[in-house]
Each structure stands twice: as C-alpha cells, then as structure tokens.
Amino acid sequence: MQMRSHLARARGLGSSNDGVGHWWAQRLTGLALVPLSLWFIFSVVGLIGADLATVKAWAGRHGNPVMLILLTIAMFHHAQLGIQVVVEDYVKSEPTKVTLLVLTKFLAALFGASCIFAVLRLSFGG
C-alpha cells in the first residue's frame, strides 16, 4: 500500500509537451475537411456516369487540382493524427508503439504523395 496522494503520484510523470499542438492540428484539419469534403461530394455527384475525358476536363479546370490536393493533405494528416492518438493511448508495448507510429506516418505520407501525384497527372493530362 502506498501512502502517496494522487497528486504526488502524478507529479514527475511530466507531459508530452506536444498535446496542445497535436490537439489544435487535429481540430484545424477536421475543420478544413468540412468544406473540402462538401465541395468534393457535390463536385463528384455531378460526374456520376461521366466518361474519362469529362473527368479529366473537370480535374483540369482552374482551382479543382488545388482543392483536391488540399483535401488530400488535410485528409491524410487528420487520419494520421487520429491513428497516432489511438496507438499512443492503447498500445502498451513501447517497441510496438514506436513501430506503429513510424509506419502510420510513413503510410500517410506515401498514400498522400501517391494521391497528389495522381491528381497532378490527371490535371495536366498525363
């Protein structure tokens, strides 16, 4: 039995010194995803049944590639932040935690870069 209070046990544990920045990044990317997702949904609904030439023309229109790239960046960053929180909170083994965090960041960057490459290729008619 320990004779220490809850406060005494909590002292010395420290903080990650990253919580506020992480929290803000998650909120800002979530907020950015609202209008970007609505724009994407309404844009894609108009393309239902369209052929490839029509989709390429839509993707090449002024502003659409920029919006698609912003959506991609916000989406993958937001997903990576969310998965990071789950891993940090629920994975107890330190080597597994570090491996999953590195893998999550790597995969988010890889898939995000792949999507951006696809958007640029589609927009510029490649």
Average confidence (pLDDT) over 74-93: 96
- Note the pTM of the prediction, 2 decimals: 0.82
Q: What is the pLDDT of residues 92-106, one digit of tens each?
A: 999 999 999 999 999
Short-list 61, 77, 62, CA closest to 115: 77
Report residue 110 CA to chain centroid gap: 12
- Is the Cβ–Cβ distance between 33 and 78 less than 8 Å? yes
CATH number at residue 51: 1.20.1300.10
Residue 9 lies in a domain: no
Residue 13 lies in a domain: no
Residue 6 lies in a domain: no
Residue 1 lies in a domain: no
Residue 41 lies in a domain: yes
- Is the Cβ–Cβ distance between 25 and 81 less than 8 Å? yes
How many separate domains does the chain show? 1
DSSP code per residue over 23-71: HHHHHHHHHHHHHHHHHHHHHHHTTTT--HHHHHHHHHSTTHHHHHHHH
Range of the domain at 32: 18-123
